[in-house]
Amino acid sequence: MITAYHQLRSTFTRLSRFEHLSAIAGWDMQTMMPPKGNLARSEALAELNVLHHQILTAPQVGQWLEQAEQETLNDIEKANLREMRRHYDNAVLVPESLVEAKSLAGARCEHAWRQQRINNDWAGFAENLREVVKLSRQEAEIRAQAAGTSRYDALLNLYEPGLRSSDLDRIFGDLKQWLPDLLQKAIVKQAKQPHLTPVGPFDLEKQRQLSLSVMALLGFDFDGGRVDVSVHPFCGGVPQDVRITTRYNEKEFTSALMGIVHETGHARYEQNLPREWLGQPISHARSTAIHESQSLLFEMQLARSDEFLKLLLPLAIKHFGEQAALTEDNFIALNQRVEAGFIRVDADEVSYPAHVILRYEIEKALIEGEIEVEDIPAQWNEKMQRYLGLNTEGNYRNGCMQDIHWTDGAFGYFPTYTLGAMYAAQLFQTAREAIPNLDQQIGNGDLSALFAWLQQNIWQHGSRYLTDELIIKATGETLNPRFFRQHLERRYL
């Protein structure tokens, strides 16, 4: 007898194959596709999204879910069914026409943004963004009415299930109490320790070769993924074929290098998700913040540590040759530099939360209808001056046009970066306690114990556990921001 649960398994396996095609087509769109292919690709992806939506929201899927909830299932199957129900409930609320319209508007906005950002063309960007915001508000209203929450909370739930903006206001409110002082103290301290800036140009092919060396050191499986160039770095693809990207700059190499480390953290998580459950919702990453915790654990906790930077330095010298700036002390100082800057993806870990809080406050107000697209530049400038002391008036390219997330309506995503940094600090400290000589192992270039700990506590579980359950099992408690504060104080003060 074919049970309702097995019917669901077959359906979600089929959906995962469409997701695979969509992921690779989306990766190609941002890396390889010639510009004139955008309209046709956008329409093809929108068609695929609609087909995915039709299959997921078909009446029999709802019936099978109700029937399967009465069947005898083991713990793994129950967790998978819970995730199936979550995907179905999220999808069935939104009409097919809105799915298609949002997909097309997002693709149009993102594609045009690539050139508009270069040209500092806020007026052109705003015209496309208005449509994305309009459709995102429609989706948020539908979801909010069904869930009995605010519009923003309804979108936040898509990225971080169960989280509310009231939780974020509490966490970020605490951050705003102590972070500005820590930032200023770190800047003052480092002002007494001047550093040399490496002198370029740095050949792009040599930077690519350095990237490959670092990815290998971090355990990236090149038989199951690749690295390419895009306007905005990202990790995409599927667990069996992970695609990461970076962007290179001939004038300096550390931004691209740390970007590679960050995306490799995402990739290692994807490459180590439970293979026996692939094609099922339980095999997905737990949440966006947990995904970001893996990339930020790699980039901030591991790669900016003294021990790891000492490993990176010989690789940098091998590719670019010796120079005065590439000494051990200077290289560490360079990669642990704290300064207020315009660009989020290049920000150090002390100033980074300010970038996230700024975006969170703006996107929340935008979705709730408290501000309009036209208000974003002024809001951005006011908050940049308040949080980081920088003026972005008229500088849209390095201000409110620098990110890709809003172009496709990913409202609710930004807060997960700082939540991820907090989870990363908590996880790394727990790993350090579990592996007493971890720092020494890192210094010796042996990362196997750290990766084994992550595999055991995070990677292998996929979405088997809810976020709080996963973190309690790994660290003994739910998210505790004190680990993040202690980490920053230890490293920078």
Active site residues: 263
CB–CB of 43/109 below 8 Å? no
Which DSSP state fits 374? G
Amino acid symbol at 198? P
Cβ atoms within 10 Å of 181's Cβ, excluding its own: 9
> In angstroms, rounded to a whole number, what is the distance separating the alpha carbons of residues 12 and 55?
9
Which DSSP state fits 235? E
Alpha-carbon distances, residue 198 vs 2, 314, 451 (angstroms): 64, 14, 31
Write the DSSP assignment of 379-401 as a string of letters.
Answer: HHHHHHHHHH----TT--TTTTT
> In angstroms, rounded to a whole number, what is the distance separating the alpha carbons of residues 355 and 7?
45
> In angstroms, rounded to a whole number, what is the distance separating the alpha carbons of residues 35 and 16?
28
As a whole number of Å, the end-to-end CA separation of the chain is: 65
241 — phi, psi (to 5°)?
-155, 80
> In angstroms, rounded to a whole number, what is the distance separating the alpha carbons of residues 27 and 17?
15
